[in-house]
Amino acid sequence: MDCTVRPYLPTDETAWLRCRALAFLDTAYFDDVKRVRPAIAAPGFALVAVGPDGAVIGVIDVEVEHGAATVETVAVHPDHRSRGVGGALLEEALDRLAALGATTLDAWTRDDPDTLRWYRSNGFAEGDHYLHVYADYYTDAAEPDRAIGGRRPGLRPVKALLHAAMAEEAAMREQFARVHVCRRFVRSVKG
Ligand SMILES: CC(C)(COP(=O)(O)OP(=O)(O)OC[C@H]1O[C@@H](n2cnc3c(N)ncnc32)[C@H](O)[C@@H]1OP(=O)(O)O)[C@@H](O)C(=O)NCCC(=O)NCCS
């Protein structure tokens, strides 16, 4: 792994946004594109991994509240995956969390098999699950009506993201083309 992990700097914002968008493009988060980086309040922190030429090839943002930490974003540029960049970001984040006295680190993710494998092989265990259901007029013109009961006159729903319980999974998959299982992974900071 030929990268250096350092704190995020405001001048990294464009590189951060591009890295995240490209990393998500072939995942279940492909349309979760941000144009401005959400701020992380202290004691939370943000790190970037840079290659030998200084280019940002991976990012991790971690929120910390009352000793519990959450990965807000972890993304490695697709040209640099599976070379330990994500692992290096996580390792540095865990060191910083231990120094802050945080005890747990969790993350929410959808159903990409490679990502699930990465969390599991990095000591995370799967806990809570629920569904992310997309109702999209352009996939099936009836989906928004199936998802939304009463309509406001003059407004036609075109796209909606809805949450549902796992018990609804079979019914949701029958009625909607895009359904994700959203899962919480959690590990202890000390490993
Ligand atoms: C998940 C992710 C952060 C892992 O970072 P990484 O630098 O690729 O992972 P590492 O090199 O530390 O670890 C490699 C392992 O991760 C797993 N992995 C996860 N996603 C992978 C991918 N898209 N391609 C290849 N391996 C992947 C593999 O199990 C791999 O093990 P292997 O080398 O034995 O095959 C990165 O692949 C990524 O950005 N994925 C897309 C964005 C995403 O899903 N982010 C999390 C959303 S919550």
Tell me the per-residue pLDDT of 66-76, one tens digit each, with 9 for 90 and over: 999 999 999 99
Last residue of a domain, one of 70, 102, 134: 102
Is the Cβ atom of 74 under 6 angstroms away from ligand 1? yes
Predicted pLDDT at 120: 98
Mean pLDDT score, 24-50: 97
Q: What is the mean pLDDT of the chain?
A: 96
Predicted pLDDT at 150: 84
- Asked whether the predicted pLDDT for residue 191 surpasses 90, the reply is no
| Same-domain pairing of 95 and 19 | yes
| Same-domain pairing of 95 and 128 | no
Tell me the per-residue pLDDT of 129-159, one tens digit each, with 9 for 90 and over: 999 999 999 999 999 999 998 888 999 999 9
| Same-domain pairing of 178 and 136 | yes
- Count how many domains the chain has: 2
| Same-domain pairing of 19 and 87 | yes
Predicted pLDDT at 145: 93
Predicted pLDDT at 122: 98
| Same-domain pairing of 8 and 59 | yes
| Same-domain pairing of 179 and 120 | yes
Dihedral angle, C-alpha 162, 164, 169, 174, nearest 10 °: -40
| Same-domain pairing of 116 and 84 | no
Handedness of CA 131, 135, 140, 144 (dihedral sign): positive
Q: Which atom of ligand 1 is nearest to the CA of 117?
A: 29
- Asked whether the predicted pLDDT for residue 77 surpasses 80, the reply is yes
Tell me the per-residue pLDDT of 98-133, one tens digit each, with 9 for 90 and over: 999 999 999 999 999 999 999 999 999 999 999 999
For ligand 1, atom 14, the nearest C-alpha belongs to 82
| Same-domain pairing of 113 and 151 | yes
pTM: 0.93
| Same-domain pairing of 91 and 121 | no
Q: 40: CA distance to ligand 1 center in Å?
A: 23
| Same-domain pairing of 98 and 114 | no
Which residues constitute the domain of residue 120? 108-191
Last residue of a domain, one of 73, 102, 131: 102
Label residue 2 by pLDDT band (50, 70, 90).
confident
CATH assignment at residue 58:
3.40.630.30
Separation of alpha carbons 24 and 78, rounded Å? 9
- Joined together, the tokens standing for residue 135 give 């109702």
Predicted pLDDT at 149: 83
Is the Cβ atom of 118 under 6 angstroms away from ligand 1? yes
Which one of 72, 77, 82, 182 would you pick to mutate in the ligand 1 pocket, going by the greatest count of ligand atoms within 8 A of its CB? 82
Last residue of a domain, one of 53, 78, 102: 102
Strands 159-164, 68-76: pairing is: unpaired
